[in-house]
Amino acid sequence: MIAVVGPGPIGVLDLQGGVQEHLDHLRRLGVAGRPVKRAAELDGLAGLIIPGGESTCLSRLLTIFELRQPIEQAHRDGLKLWGTCAGAILLARENLGETPYFGLIDIAISRNAFGGQLDSFTRAARVPAVAREPVPLTFIRAPKIVRAGSGVRVLLRVDDYIAAAEDDRILVTVFHPELTPSLAFHRYFARKCGLNPDGAADAGLDPDWTPLSWTRFSHRA
């Protein structure tokens, strides 16, 4: 494993969605990660990933597990957040046609903007702030970010929508980096959290990765 200098670990919200896939990518970077499903497990984290899944289901589970206010408080205290797909929907300040949930980053997002599951797709794109080389992207029932506020930096714009954006403490992506062999976005978020994973600013393609690689690390707390 690669030695990591700085705070940590990074948590992955463990209620629904691609939890183990994110933990697998963090392990490949040598970054300590842990699943989070209780408020006490937020203690000591440098960052928290809110994974893709189904945003309505996730919002209900966050309420059932009494995690909404603890996450909001931890964020106010300095916790960095990354929302992928459904996670980005939950973090958006404006959710077109629906009630926002956390509302912590000044973006407007349109849920299921591409249509249903059959409208999922993959592509590659250059994201200069994240990697020098094109990064593979996987979109599954993806939303579109249709507006970014003045304090939000656009990292990737595709056609008529924003696919990745950030402010000083939150990263949002409408695609699923954990479902590709690229470690670039996980490395970028780790550095945003004050960690120092090794590796150049490239696409970070892991030749040993397969879509089922995460199963060797699968565990539930």
CA distance 20 to 29: 14
Radius of gyration of the chain measured on its C-alpha atoms: 16
25 included as an active-site residue = no
178 included as an active-site residue = yes
Per annotation, catalytic residue among 75, 178, 186, 193: 178
Average pLDDT over residues 181-201: 87
Name the band, by pLDDT with cuts 50, 70 and 90, for residue 212.
low
pLDDT of residue 34: 96
73 vs 140 pLDDT, higher one: 73
Residue ranges of E strands in 90-218? 92-95, 105-110, 121-125, 135-139, 144-148, 153-158, 161-166, 170-173
**Token digits of residue 163:** 């696919």
186 included as an active-site residue = no
Q: Phi/psi class of residue 66: alpha, beta or left (left: φ > 0; alpha: ψ in -120 to 50)?
A: left
Tell me: pLDDT of 149 over 70.
yes
Alpha-helical (H) ranges within 9-142 are: 19-29, 55-64, 68-76, 86-91
Give CATH superfamily name and number for 10-217: Class I glutamine amidotransferase (GATase) domain (3.40.50.880)
Which pTM was predicted?
0.88
Q: Phi/psi class of residue 204: alpha, beta or left (left: φ > 0; alpha: ψ in -120 to 50)?
A: left
CA distance 131 to 105: 23
Average pLDDT over residues 177-189: 94
Name the band, by pLDDT with cuts 50, 70 and 90, for residue 11.
very high
Per annotation, catalytic residue among 75, 85, 166, 193: 85
Give me the percent of the chain exceeding a pLDDT of 90: 71
Residue 117 identity: Q
Name the band, by pLDDT with cuts 50, 70 and 90, for residue 204.
low
**Tens-place pLDDT, residues 100-113:** 999 999 999 998 65
Residue environment code for 118-140, b if the CB has 16+ CB neighbours within 10 A, otherwise e = eeeeeeeeebeebbebebbbbbb
Tell me: pLDDT of 214 over 80.
no
Domain ranges, ordered by start, for the chain: 10-217
Tell me: pLDDT of 182 over 70.
yes
CA distance 185 to 192: 10
pLDDT of residue 5: 38
Per annotation, catalytic residue among 22, 75, 176, 186: 176
Average pLDDT over residues 69-75: 97
pLDDT of residue 118: 44
